Amino acid sequence: MHHSARRLLLPLVAVAVASLLAATATAAYHGGVTVTHETCSTTKWNYGSPYGNNVGELLSTLSGAGSAAPVDNWWFRTATVGSVSGLAMCFADSDATWCRKCLTFLISKYLPYKCDHSRNASVVTSGGCVVRYADAPFFGSASGVDSDELVVVSSTHPTYDAAAMREARRALLSQLAETAGEEALRFATGSQGYMVRHGGSQVMYGMAQCTRDLPASECTACLLDLLAVMYKDVSVTNNTEASVMGFSCYLTYQIDDPIYIDRMAPPLSPAPAPLPVPAVTTPTGSSSAAPPPVAKMTTVLIAALAAVTLLVSAIAV
């Protein structure tokens, strides 16, 4: 009995591992959804308890199943089923297809696998979406930021004038943190032109976003925490492009390449200002004439890293 069972099991495990390998390799190759931060409670719900059904129903609602509203880059939902509360949000600089792909992956593949039967779970991906649920309501207060756990995604493009770039970044990002909190969509994007030491100018583009359950002050505080995480990372100091995402807010910047926000007019190039006065816009425009976002090398790199992480944990299981 034991013997034959083992003989049956081994090939099954081999097939499972092989298909996992194939799945993660493909995801990395296509710049697939990349989890940058997650927490799953070690406290589990019991098999057959109503909690599990509630989680299932909640996640289905959060994923937009049966929703009349489009599941796109402006997607945000909170829901409560029984004692389970949760939220889901897509990042504004993602697009509709990517948003749906991200939510579907987290809800139907990642959470049931990595956070199997966890009473609480939070997952955020680079350039995509965030999903959270818990056994008690958490709406209205930002999840604590543990700076050592958050991944800062950055690329090492050189800048002509690091000091001027840092100055423009400081002015723009702190302004965006402030503005995002005041907006109904808890979102702000903007740009900051700056003069380069040996002549010419460059433009810093930025975007800030919070989950829409947060009050203004909580949103701004969350973004300022992310800013601190970003500045703490020395690899970001002189980098012309970086992003950091927590469970409750998201912050990104890049130079000389406007951040594409689907269903929003592209920003106008501001004149370089000797005294930083960032041009900050909020989503009231409606144009989709701008080109689609281009996949970035950093994303691919991070994706490869995540694939390895997933693999390692799969093997550990």
Q: Are 208 and 174 in contact (CB under 8 A)?
A: no
The angle subtended at Cα 161 by Cα 160 and Cα 163, nearest 5°, is: 160
119 forms part of the interface with ligand NAG (CB under 6 A): yes
What is the Cα–Cα distance from 306 to 154, expressed in whole angstroms?
15
**Does residue 163 interact with ligand NAG by CB under 6 A?**
yes
The amino acid occupying position 281 is T
- Type and span of the H or E element at 26: helix 2-29
Nearer to ligand NAG, 31 or 276 (CB): 276
Q: Quote the DSSP letter at residue 93.
A: T
For ligand NAG, the closer of residues 104 and 238 by Cβ is 238
| Residue 182 beta carbon to ligand NAG: minimum distance, rounded to whole angstroms | 26
Please report whether residue 120 would count as binding ligand NAG according to CB under 6 A.
yes
Q: What residues between 48 and 67 interact with ligand NAG by CB under 6 A?
A: none
Collapsing DSSP to helix, strand or coil, 121 comes out as: strand
136 touches ligand NAG (CB under 6 A): yes
Residue 105 is classified by DSSP as I
DSSP states along 122-148: EEEETTSEEEEEESS--TTSPPPP-TT
Closest separation in Å from C-beta 249 to ligand NAG: 16
Show the site string, 232-271: x = touches ligand NAG by CB under 6 A, - = not: --x--xx---------------------------------
Which region among 11-19, 58-66, 128-136, 299-307 touches ligand NAG (by CB under 6 A)?
Answer: 128-136
Query: Measured from the CB of residue 188, what is the shortest distance to ligand NAG in angstroms?
Result: 27
**Nearest-angstrom CA–CA distance, 185 and 202:** 29
The binding site for ligand NAG (CB under 6 A) comprises: 41, 43, 119-120, 134-136, 138, 162-163, 234, 237-238
